[in-house]
Chain A
């Protein structure tokens, strides 16, 4: 079992809709969680991190953390074609990345 699990997708989202990405982790010692976006052929870029239970909002992005259930999610509101990318979830400690969820925003 991988330490960080994500659905690989692709997740197809109409333009303007909300994209919802989920991530589960197995190491209860992980304290911080990160969401990265990776465009094809490019390196990952940080979207946001979260370490407290609850929601954290940054522009059109909202990260949600539930440590009791060991899951992290990312919501992308008003999805745009430029949001089409692979989204990677990572857990702190020996930083472990999920395999990534491919998001495709259709006009």
Chain B
């Protein structure tokens, strides 16, 4: 079974621009979660989507948004980029049910904001 895929793998943007990241979950997985990872803050939860609905949300500003499509693929958008948005953005997919629901991570998108 194919794993979680994320595109693009690397991205360089300038301040003020916007960016869209894409995540394709493992086949059959209906939940997709997004995380931001930086050396100083560790792994920070952004949001989770399940069956096209946002189920959970972390403490990030409204510039960070996401959506999920009917095939469970998900996109994350960051508008008005700031230097501090430079990070590794990780997507994780899971079945989305039960207490043993386990998340599997994609390889991540490395975003650099100049």
B33 touches A51 (CB 8 A): no
In A63-107, which residues have CB < 8 Å from any B CB? 88, 92, 94-100
Task: From the candidates B56, B90, B99, B100, name the one contacting A43 in the complex (CB within 8 A).
Answer: B90
Q: What is the minimal beta-carbon distance from B59 to any residue of chain A, in angstroms?
A: 11
CA–CA, A49 and B107, complex, Å: 21
| B45 pairs with A51, CB closer than 8 A | no
* Contact indicator A95/B42 (Cβ below 8 Å): no
Residues of A within 8 A of B66 (CB): none
Give complex CA distance A96, B46 in Å.
Answer: 11
Known: A44-B90, A49-B100. A97 touches B42 (CB 8 A): yes
A7 within 8 A of B: no
Cβ of B27 within 8 Å of any chain A Cβ, yes or no, is no
Q: Is A45 an interface residue (CB 8 A)?
A: yes
B43 and A88 contact, CB distance less than 8 A = yes
Residue pair A31, B43 in contact (C-beta under 8 Å): no
Interface residue range, chain B: 10 to 19
- Determine if B45 and A45 form an interchain contact, defined as CB atoms under 8 angstroms apart: no
Contact B102 A44 (CB under 8 A): no
Interface pair B101/A44, CB less than 8 Å apart: no
A43 adjacent to B45 (CB under 8 Å): no
Within 8 A of B (CB), among A9-57: 31-32, 34, 36, 42-46, 49, 51
Q: What distance in Å separates the Cβ of A36 from its nearest Cβ neighbour in chain B?
A: 8
Among A31, A46, A95, A100, which residue has its beta carbon within 8 angstroms of that of B104? A46
A31 to B99, CA, bound (A): 6
**Known A49-B100, A99-B42; further 11 A-B contacts with Cβ < 8 A:** A34-B103, A36-B105, A42-B107, A43-B90, A44-B105, A46-B102, A49-B102, A92-B101, A96-B45, A100-B42, A100-B43
